C-alpha cells in the first residue's frame, strides 16, 4: 500500500506544451453528415499513399527489370510485374449489418468474432479499375489487414489470380527532429471505467494521490514531481447503454444516474487537473461518437476540470506535442480490430501500422468511421516520436523506418483490470509501469 508522506513538498517540473490547435483539426469533423458513400474515403487513401509506395516499389524491383502494371485488371501473362492497390479480405467471419437487420430488425453494435482471418478468407487487391485475387505463400504468411494500401509483385496464374512473390508498403513518414530534454515523465492511463455503481474506486483515489505527489515515500514523490502531463486514453467512464428498442421517457428521469456518474468523474479528475496538465481521449465506453475519429468529450461535462488551463479534451485518435516530443495516441479500438486479422501482438501490429502509414486501415470495413470525402485523416503524414494505444495489456517496442525514423510504441494497460499506469520518460522515451496497490 502507498503510504502518505505529508512532510515533503517537492516542486513539480514544468515543460512546454504545443498549442492544441496545431494538431487537433486533423481529426475534427464538425457537423457530421452520413449521406456520402465510403468509396471516396478509399479513393483518397489510395491516391495519398500510392506515390510513396511506388517510390519504394520502383527502387526495390525495377533494377530487376520488373515494372509496374498501372491497373490491376491489366495484368496479363506469366511475366513478373507489380501492381498497387488496397487490400480487401472477404471472410464469412466478418460482421454483416444487413444480415443482422434481416435477422433482428434492429441495428446494434454486433459482437465481433475473435478472428476475421482464419485461413478460409479470400484476399483481393483493388484499385479504381476493379479487383484481382491474391494467392501464394507470401500472402498467407504476411501480416495484412483489410484497407492496407500495398504494392504486390508477382504474376498472373492460369486461373486469373495474382501469385504474389513479394510486397512492399508506404513505409514510415517523415519524422521531425527531437531535442533531448531533462528527465520528465508523461503518465499514460486508460480504462478507469468509472461506473454508476462505483464512480471512484479506492485504486482510482490512490492513483490521483500518487500523481499529485500525496502518496508514497520520498522516491515516489520525487518521481511524481517529474510528471508533467497525464493522459487518459479512453474508457474514462462506463456509461450504461439503453437496451435495444428503449424509448427514453423524460418523466422517468433515467438520466440521473449517468449525470451523477459524470459529476463524480469530473470532481475526481479535477484533483489531477489542479496539479498538472490533463488530457482526455474518449473511448468506446465514454459519451462520445461511436465511430472514429471520436470527437472530444463535451467540456460541459467537466465544469470543475475546465477551470484549469491545462485541461484538454481531445479526439480519438489525437496528435499532441509535449516538450518537442510528438505523440500520437488512440484509445485502442484500431489496434483491437487489427488483432482480429493476425496473431501478432498488439504492439507489433501497432508498429506495423506505422509502416503501412495508416493507424486505422480496417476502417470502415470492420471498424466504424466517419465517411470523409476530402481526405483520409488516419493516414500518418508525420511520424510521431511516441505512438500509444489504450485499453491493452502493457507492452512496449520500437518501430524503425528506412530513413532513420524511430517511434516508441506503447500499449497502455486497462487500469480497472491491471491497476497499472505507464510512465514515459520524454528524454529517453523509455517507459515503465507503476502498480497502484490499494490493499490495506
109-139 tens-digit pLDDT: 556 667 888 888 999 999 999 999 999 999 9
- Looking at residue 16, what is its pLDDT? 65
- Looking at residue 438, what is its pLDDT? 74
- Looking at residue 108, what is its pLDDT? 54
Q: What is the 3-state secondary structure (H, E, C) of the chain?
A: CCCCCCCCCCCCCCCCECCCHHHHCCCCCCCCCCCCCCHHHHHHHHHHHHHHHHHHHHHHHHHHCCCECCCHHHCCCCCCEEEEEEEEEECCCCCCHHHHHHHHCCCCCCCCCCCCCCCCCEEEEEECCEEEEEECHHHHHCCCCCCCEEEEEEEECCCCCEEEEEEECCCCCCCCCCCCCCCCEEEEEECCCECCCCCCCHHHHHHHHHHCCCCCCHHHHHHHHCEEEEEEECCCECCCCCCCCCCCCHHHCCCHHHHHHHHHHHHHHHHHHCCCCEEEECCCCCCCCCCECECCCCHHHCCCHHHCCCEEECCECEEEEECCEEEEEECCHHHHHHCCCCCCCHHHHHHHHHHHCECCCCCCCCCCECCCCCCCCCECCCCCCEEEEEEECCEEEEEECCCCCEEEEEEEEEHHHHCEEEEEECCCCCEEEEECCCCC
pLDDT of 38-71, one tens digit each? 899 999 999 999 999 999 999 999 999 999 999 9
* Closest-CA residue to 85 (of 163, 165, 147): 147
d(C-alpha 151, C-alpha 165), whole Å: 11
Query: CA torsion, points 149, 155, 161, 167, in degrees to nearest 10?
Result: -30
**Which cell goes with 165?**
512473390
How would you class 315 by CB atoms within 10 Å of its CB: exposed for 0-12, middle for 13-18, buried for 19 or more? buried
Write down the residue that cell numbers 517540473 correspond to.
13
**Which cell goes with 198?**
462505483
CB 419 within 8 A of CB 433: no
- Looking at residue 11, what is its pLDDT? 72
Total-model pTM: 0.91
- Looking at residue 239, what is its pLDDT? 83
Q: Which long-range contacts (CB under 8 A, 24 or more apart) does 64-69 make?
A: 66/153
CB 153 within 8 A of CB 66: yes
CB 147 within 8 A of CB 367: no
d(C-alpha 94, C-alpha 100), whole Å: 12
Non-local (6+) Cβ contacts of 402 within 8 A are 171, 172
Beta bridge partners of 321: 326
Burial 278-302 (b: 16+ CB within 10 A, else e): bbbbbbbbbebbebbbbbbbeeebb
CB 317 within 8 A of CB 378: yes
* Closest-CA residue to 214 (of 8, 415, 438, 437): 8
**Which cell goes with 328?**
500520437
- Mean pLDDT for each 10-residue chunk of the chain (440 residues)? 46 64 72 82 97 97 95 93 97 68 54 78 95 96 97 96 97 92 93 94 96 87 94 92 58 71 96 96 92 94 96 96 94 97 96 98 94 94 97 97 96 97 96 84
* Closest-CA residue to 276 (of 184, 205, 387, 203): 184
Task: Tell me the torsion sign for CA atoms 288, 294, 298, 302.
Answer: positive
- Looking at residue 215, what is its pLDDT? 83
Amino acid at each position: 500500500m502507498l503510504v502518505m508522506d505529508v512532510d515533503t513538498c517537492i516542486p513539480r517540473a514544468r515543460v512546454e506544451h504545443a498549442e492544441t490547435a496545431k494538431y487537433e483539426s486533423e481529426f475534427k469533423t464538425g457537423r457530421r453528415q452520413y449521406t456520402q458513400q465510403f468509396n471516396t474515403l478509399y479513393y483518397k487513401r489510395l491516391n495519398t499513399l500510392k506515390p510513396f509506395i511506388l517510390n519504394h516499389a520502383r527502387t526495390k524491383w525495377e533494377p530487376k527489370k520488373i515494372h509496374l502494371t498501372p491497373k490491376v485488371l491489366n495484368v496479363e501473362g506469366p511475366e513478373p510485374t507489380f501492381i498497387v492497390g488496397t487490400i480487401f479480405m472477404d471472410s464469412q467471419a466478418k460482421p454483416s449489418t444487413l444480415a443482422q437487420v434481416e435477422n433482428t430488425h434492429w441495428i446494434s453494435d454486433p459482437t465481433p468474432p475473435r478472428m476475421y482471418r482464419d485461413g478460409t478468407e479470400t484476399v483481393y487487391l483493388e484499385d479504381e479499375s476493379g479487383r484481382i485475387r491474391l494467392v501464394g505463400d507470401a500472402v498467407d504468411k504476411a501480416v495484412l489487414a483489410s484497407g492496407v494500401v500495398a504494392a504486390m509483385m508477382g504474376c498472373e496464374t492460369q486461373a486469373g489470380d495474382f501469385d504474389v512473390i513479394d510486397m512492399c508498403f508506404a513505409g514510415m513518414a517523415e519524422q521531425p527532429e527531437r531535442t533531448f530534454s531533462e528527465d520528465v515523465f508523461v503518465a499514460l492511463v486508460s480504462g478507469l471505467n468509472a461506473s454508476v455503481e462505483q464512480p471512484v474506486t479506492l485504486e482510482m483515489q490512490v492513483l490521483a494521490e500518487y500523481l499529485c505527489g500525496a502518496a508514497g515515500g520520498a522516491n515516489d514523490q520525487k518521481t511524481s514531481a517529474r510528471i508533467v502531463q497525464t493522459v487518459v486514453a479512453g474508457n474514462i467512464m462506463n456509461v450504461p447503454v439503453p437496451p435495444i428498442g428503449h424509448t427514453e421517457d423524460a418523466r422517468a428521469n433515467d438520466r440521473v444516474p449517468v449525470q451523477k456518474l459524470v459529476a463524480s468523474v469530473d470532481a475526481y479528475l479535477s484533483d489531477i487537473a489542479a496539479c498538472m496538465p490533463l488530457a482526455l481521449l474518449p473511448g468506446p465506453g465514454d459519451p462520445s461518437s461511436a465511430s472514429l475519429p471520436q470527437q472530444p468529450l463535451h467540456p460541459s461535462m467537466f465544469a470543475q476540470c475546465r477551470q484549469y488551463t491545462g485541461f484538454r479534451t481531445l479526439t480519438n485518435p489525437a496528435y499532441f506535442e509535449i516538450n518537442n516530443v510528438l505523440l500520437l495516441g488512440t484509445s485502442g479500438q484500431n489496434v483491437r480490430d487489427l488483432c482480429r486479422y493476425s496473431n501478432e501482438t498488439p504492439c507489433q501490429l501497432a508498429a506495423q501500422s506505422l509502416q503501412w502509414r495508416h493507424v486505422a486501415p480496417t476502417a470502415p470495413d470492420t471498424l466504424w468511421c466517419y465517411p470523409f470525402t476530402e481526405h483520409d485523416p488516419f493516414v500518418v503524414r508525420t511520424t510521431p516520436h511516441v505512438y500509444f494505444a489504450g485499453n491493452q495489456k502493457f507492452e512496449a517496442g520500437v518501430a524503425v523506418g528506412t530513413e532513420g525514423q524511430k517511434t516508441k510504441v506503447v500499449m497502455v494497460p486497462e487500469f480497472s483490470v491491471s491497476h497499472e499506469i505507464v510512465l514515459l520518460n520524454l528524454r529517453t522515451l523509455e517507459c515503465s509501469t507503476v502498480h497502484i496497490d490499494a490493499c490495506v
